[in-house]
């Protein structure tokens, strides 16, 4: 009788490390691309009243029609396109990976990019193919097209802007990937609020394109809501893999209400973009730092002895993300989320002290 994990759990799962979430208690938290601003008190009061009235004894509204209608308007979903909602976009990546997993089919992504593309493909038992970007973090289109030809992936993920590099890939090159791909191409626009560029208008022209969004980076990371947008013939199939009631009642109520006051979030995003410019300028002034321009709400930068600097920042009470060791193109790289002006100043001052140490 088999009673050991080795006999039951797949080898590739046993080899995985769980997605790391470090303890940030009491720290300036600039590691997870959250919006640093809370909602205004008046809106929070409105949400409290909605929660008070919510029928928590009932299952959530399975199809979430009210929320979908708000999302259509707020995101500018093109006519004729359908929505699939997830418990964060992570869950939508999982639905996609499960749906596309065939014994011989590959899931393809560029590297470095959002780590969950690779991890979730592995969870689903799919063969993941990672194609490195160029040294300047732009798409290596020749390598990509060759990998598509060779592996014929059922699913391609491209983050636009990319995480952790912060750049927007060339849209013309992405179009070539969409045309060459034999299956679906998912453009993950998690950071759209800070980029302004989108593939949504291309949905009608590209039959194998899906666009993914999330409310997480916009200011609602705590309620977990991701949105996949595309033609009904794709979304209808994917919807079969969604667990019933995956978007809970509180998420539905809160998201719909906040979207009704959507300008709050766009004003916060505008403040974050302003701070992003300042943070980039000031980072570029720190001796030994190479900081990369970003279309997202974080900045990637290179600094010698990144691991030591990361630890020193922690000692100074500032938590960012250490990417050193995660990919050859991220050697000596750290990623900082854009926070409030005070948080960014605290980070810059801690960084200067860490470099001098």
Ligand X SMILES: Cc1ncc(COP(=O)(O)O)c(C=O)c1O
Q: Which is nearer to ligand X, 157 or 312 (CB)?
A: 157
**C-alpha separations of 263 from 139, 163, 260 in Å:** 34, 25, 8
State yes or no: residue 165 binds ligand X (CB under 6 A): no
Q: Please report whether residue 137 would count as binding ligand X according to CB under 6 A.
A: no
Token digits of residue 316: 């100074």
User: Is residue 157 a contact point for ligand X (CB under 6 A)?
Assistant: no
Q: Does 188 bind ligand X (CB under 6 A)?
A: yes
Residue 101 in tokens: 């997993």
Minimum distance, C-beta of residue 352 to ligand X, in the bound complex (Å): 27
How many Å apart are CA 156 and CA 130, to the nearest integer? 10
The smaller minimum CB distance to ligand X, of residues 219 and 354, is found at 219
Give the nearer residue to ligand X in terms of CB position, either 112 or 354. 112
Report how far Cα 305 is from the mean position of its chain's Cα atoms.
27
Print the SS3 string covering 305-328. Answer: CHHHHHHHHHHCCEECEECCCCCH
Residues 6+ apart with CB under 8 A from 103: none
Site string for ligand X, 231-270 (x = CB under 6 A): ----------------------------------------
CA distance to 131, 144, 184, 239, per residue, from 235 (Å):
27, 26, 12, 6
Q: Give the one residue of 85, 114, 156, 264 binding ligand X; rule: CB under 6 A.
A: 114
**Binding of ligand X by 89 (CB under 6 A):** yes
Interface size with ligand X, residues (CB under 6 A): 13
DSSP 50: H
Residue 223 makes contact with ligand X by CB under 6 A: no
What is the pattern of x (binds ligand X, CB under 6 A) and - over residues 11-40? ----------------------x-------
Residue 163 binds ligand X (CB under 6 A): yes
- SS3 state of residue 135: coil
216, 251, 294, 337: which one binds ligand X (CB under 6 A):
216
Binding ligand X (rule: CB under 6 A), the pick from 34, 61, 90, 282 is: 90
User: How many angstroms separate the CA atoms of 238 and 243, rounded?
Assistant: 11
Record the tokens describing residue 11, joined without a space: 């080898």
Q: Which residues bind ligand X (CB under 6 A)?
A: 33, 88-90, 114, 159, 163, 188, 190, 214, 216, 221, 226
């Amino acid at each position: 009788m088999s009673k050991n994990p080795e006999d039951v759990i797949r080898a590739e799962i046993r080899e995985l490390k769980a997605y790391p979430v470090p303890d940030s208690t009491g720290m300036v938290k600039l590691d997870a691309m959250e919006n640093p601003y809370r909602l205004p008190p008046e809106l929070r009061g409105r949400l409290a009243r909605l929660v008070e009235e919510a029928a928590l004894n009932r299952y959530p509204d399975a199809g979430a029609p009210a929320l979908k209608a708000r999302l259509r308007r707020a995101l500018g979903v093109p006519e004729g396109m359908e929505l699939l909602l997830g418990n964060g976009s992570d869950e939508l990546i999982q639905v996609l990976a499960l749906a596309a997993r065939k014994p011989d089919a590959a899931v393809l992504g560029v590297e470095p990019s959002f780590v969950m593309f690779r991890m979730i493909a592995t969870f689903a038992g799919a063969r993941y193919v990672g194609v490195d970007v160029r040294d300047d973090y732009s798409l290596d289109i020749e390598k990509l097209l060759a990998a598509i030809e060779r592996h014929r992936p059922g699913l391609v993920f491209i983050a636009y802007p990319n995480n952790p590099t912060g750049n927007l890939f060339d849209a013309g090159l992405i179009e070539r990937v969409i045309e060459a791909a034999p299956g679906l191409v998912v453009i993950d626009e998690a950071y759209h609020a800070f980029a302004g560029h989108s593939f949504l208008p291309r949905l009608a022209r590209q039959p194998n394109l899906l666009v993914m969004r999330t409310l997480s980076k916009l200011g609602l990371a705590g309620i977990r809501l991701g949105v996949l947008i595309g033609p009904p013939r794709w979304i209808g199939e994917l919807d079969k893999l969604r667990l019933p009631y995956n978007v809970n009642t509180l998420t539905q109520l809160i998201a719909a209400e906040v979207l009704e006051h959507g300008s709050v979030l766009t004003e916060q995003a505008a403040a974050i973009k302003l701070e992003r410019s300042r943070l980039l300028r000031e980072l570029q002034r720190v001796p030994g730092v190479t900081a990369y321009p970003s279309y997202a709400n974080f900045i990637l930068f290179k600094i010698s002895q990144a691991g030591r600097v990361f630890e020193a920042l922690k000692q100074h009470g500032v938590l960012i993300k250490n990417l050193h060791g995660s990919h050859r193109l991220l050697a000596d790289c750290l990623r900082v989320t854009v926070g409030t002006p005070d948080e960014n100043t605290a980070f810059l001052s801690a960084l200067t002290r860490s470099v001098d140490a």
